[in-house]
């Protein structure tokens, strides 16, 4: 069973799969504690907030409610949707073993992507695309995992200040090179200018949250 906060179809707006029509499944639960987190309602897995799957499927507003869904029901539910690129997000989806769900969706002809902070073991089908957005020294005290960096198909690094660039350079020194995307924190002008500067300097790329320009979620 997986705790699903919401399903929604949109355009993937970030990093390698930018522009891809996608079905997002947001899982409930995260103990990383990023201060700027825009999905704080996913942090607690509180059984008093469990709702039936049909209610969660119709959900349109952010809230801590979730459905506890079997893999069979998830596969069945997803198969009725149009966008056949599945993005598993959260919360922190890697709190859960995603191997069976991802393997079955790939067998159905889907592509599967997970977005993770790199603080949990990544249990997912080897054919799935793994996006690691490293969260370092966050209030939750979770340790960033070197094996997450090694498994990552891409790194999407939130950048708000020069110290974040230093953190990224330290990760590269410790764990090796990767496909690096810079994510300007809150898309602020200051963060964006910094990202442009260091992208030029190091040959990295900028992930511009295209869905926001398209007025999509
Ligand atoms: S890892 Fe993601 S969901 Fe968890 S606190 Fe940080 S931004 Fe929020």
Q: Is the pLDDT of residue 211 over 90?
A: no
What pLDDT, on a 0 to 100 scale, did the predictor assign at position 212? 85
In angstroms and rounded to an integer, the radius of gyration of the C-alpha atoms of the chain is: 17
Q: How far apart are CA 68 and CA 74, in angstroms?
A: 10
What does the angle CA 208 – CA 209 – CA 213 come to, to the nearest 5 degrees?
100
Distance 135 CA to ligand 1 centre (A): 8
Q: How far apart are CA 123 and CA 104, in angstroms?
A: 14
**Residue pLDDT, tens place only, 7-33:** 999 999 999 999 999 999 999 999 999
Asked whether the beta carbons of 128 and 120 are under 8 A apart, the reply is no
Does ligand 1 have an atom closer than 6 angstroms to the CB of 135?
A: yes
**Residue pLDDT, tens place only, 154-196:** 999 999 999 999 999 999 999 999 999 999 998 899 999 999 9
Q: How far apart are CA 42 and CA 150, in angstroms?
A: 27
Minimum-distance ligand 1 atom for the alpha carbon of 138:
6
Q: How far apart are CA 32 and CA 211, in angstroms?
A: 25
What pLDDT, on a 0 to 100 scale, did the predictor assign at position 217? 80
Q: How far apart are CA 184 and CA 14, in angstroms?
A: 11
Q: How far apart are CA 136 and CA 168, in angstroms?
A: 10
What pLDDT, on a 0 to 100 scale, did the predictor assign at position 168? 97
What does the angle CA 192 – CA 197 – CA 201 come to, to the nearest 5 degrees?
145
Closest CA to 98 of 74, 80, 79: 74
- Confidence bin at 215 (pLDDT 50/70/90): confident
Going by alpha carbons, the residue nearest to atom 7 of ligand 1 is 37
Q: How far apart are CA 23 and CA 162, in angstroms?
A: 34
**Residue pLDDT, tens place only, 59-115:** 989 999 999 999 999 999 999 998 999 999 999 999 999 999 999 999 999 999 999
Distance 85 CA to ligand 1 centre (A): 22
């Amino acid at each position: 069973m997986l705790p699903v906060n919401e399903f929604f179809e949109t355009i993937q707006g970030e990093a390698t799969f930018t522009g891809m029509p996608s079905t997002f499944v947001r899982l409930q639960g995260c103990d990383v504690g990023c201060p700027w987190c825009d999905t704080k309602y996913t942090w607690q897995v509180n059984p008093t907030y469990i709702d039936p799957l049909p209610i969660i499927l119709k959900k349109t507003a952010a809230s801590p409610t979730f459905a506890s869904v079997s893999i069979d029901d998830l596969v069945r539910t997803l198969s009725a949707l149009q966008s056949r690129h599945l993005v598993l997000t959260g919360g922190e989806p890697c709190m859960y073993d995603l191997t069976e769900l991802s393997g079955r969706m790939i067998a159905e002809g889907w592509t599967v992507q997970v977005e993770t902070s790199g603080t949990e073991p990544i249990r997912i089908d080897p054919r799935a695309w793994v996006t690691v957005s490293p969260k370092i020294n966050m209030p939750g005290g979770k340790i960033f995992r070197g094996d997450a960096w090694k498994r990552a198909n891409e790194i999407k690094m939130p950048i708000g200040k020069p110290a974040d660039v230093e953190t990224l350079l330290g990760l590269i020194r410790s764990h090796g090179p990767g496909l690096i995307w810079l994510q300007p924190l809150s898309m602020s002008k200051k963060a964006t200018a910094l990202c442009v500067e260091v992208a030029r300097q190091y040959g990295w790329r900028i992930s511009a949250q295209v869905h926001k320009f398209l007025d999509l979620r």
